[in-house]
């Protein structure tokens, strides 16, 4: 697969708690240079980043991150604030405890509330697949589809595991029409990226692919 095609599916990501504006600015510069799908950054930097890139690059941020157990009202406020600050895409974390309690209606209503708060922007629902059973994963595909969200996302990258090929294949099989899959967490090589895209993922949440390409400049980019 062509490197440019892989990069076009990458949400170039920097979500470490110690991230500085200088580092975020570098992420934005890389996202612009390599024509990434978006940059995924902490909410506190969204306004600066949006002003910095203008309309040349999508700005993505995270809501209820990384644990997902904020109240729905808090997540809605976070979402509205991020949109006001210039976010183009929202990646929200579900309440994993509600999954274990089988509070399916609460989960669906929260997804719908956050989707409504996105004001037409793209919503990706992070389900933290490493903490779920097979049955829970399939149920969440159903709920994400019903919510109107555009994506189901495998992982935060901050829990016990990241994206797996098995989970991406499962999600692709079980989401409804129009719902796409974002693989995130532990994507550490171009082969990983190519494999996930070949399995049907539409987005890759990763901090490493651009770094790898930067190290290989002159070799086909």
Q: Alpha-carbon distance 43 to 15, whole Å?
A: 9
Say if 218 falls within a structural domain: no
Say if 86 falls within a structural domain: yes
The separation between CA 57 and the C-alpha centre of its own chain, rounded to angstroms, equals 15
Q: Of residues 11, 30, 88, 91, which has the active-site annotation? A: 91
What pLDDT is attached to residue 165? 98
Task: Give the pair of three-digit tokens for residue 19.
Answer: 């991230």
Q: Of residues 75, 167, 182, 192, which has the active-site annotation? A: 182
- pTM to 2 decimal places: 0.96
88 catalytic? Reply is no
Task: Give the pair of three-digit tokens for residue 212.
Answer: 């790898």
User: pLDDT of 156-205, one tens digit each?
Assistant: 999 999 999 999 999 999 999 999 999 999 999 999 999 999 999 999 99
Report helix, strand and coil shares of the chain as percent, to nearest 5: 50, 15, 35
153 catalytic? Reply is yes
Phi and psi dihedrals of 158, rounded to 5? -115, 5
Say if 13 falls within a structural domain: yes
Q: Of residues 58, 75, 153, 180, which has the active-site annotation? A: 153
106 catalytic? Reply is no
Domains in the chain, number: 1
What pLDDT is attached to residue 216? 76
User: pLDDT of 5-50, one tens digit each?
Assistant: 999 999 999 999 999 999 999 999 999 999 999 999 999 999 999 9
In the numeric block, the tokens 């899959």 are attached to 181
Residue 159: CATH number of its domain: 3.20.20.70
Q: What is the DSSP letter of 66?
A: T
Say if 221 falls within a structural domain: no
Q: Residues 110-133: what's their mean pLDDT? A: 98
Of 148, 157, 194, the C-alpha closest to 10 is 194
């Amino acid at each position: 697969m062509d490197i440019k095609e892989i990069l076009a599916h990458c949400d170039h990501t920097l979500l470490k708690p110690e991230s500085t504006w200088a580092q975020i600015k570098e992420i934005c510069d890389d996202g612009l240079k390599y024509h990434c799908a978006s940059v995924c950054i902490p909410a506190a930097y969204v306004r600066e980043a949006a002003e910095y890139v203008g309309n040349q690059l999508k700005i993505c941020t995270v809501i209820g991150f990384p644990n997902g157990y904020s109240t729905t009202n808090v997540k809605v406020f976070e979402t509205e604030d991020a949109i006001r600050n210039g976010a183009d895409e929202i990646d929200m974390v579900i309440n994993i405890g509600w999954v274990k309690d089988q509070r399916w209606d609460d989960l669906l209503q929260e997804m719908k509330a956050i989707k409504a708060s996105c004001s037409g922007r793209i919503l990706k629902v992070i389900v933290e697949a490493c903490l779920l059973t097979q049955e829970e994963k399939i149920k969440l595909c159903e709920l994400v589809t019903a919510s109107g969200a555009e994506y189901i996302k495998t992982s935060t990258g901050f829990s016990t595991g990241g994206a797996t090929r098995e989970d991406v294949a499962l999600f692709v099989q079980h989401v409804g029409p129009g719902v796409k899959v974002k693989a995130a967490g532990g994507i550490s090589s171009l082969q990983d990226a190519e494999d996930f895209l070949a399995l049907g993922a539409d987005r890759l949440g990763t901090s490493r692919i651009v770094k790898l390409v930067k190290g290989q400049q002159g070799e086909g980019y």
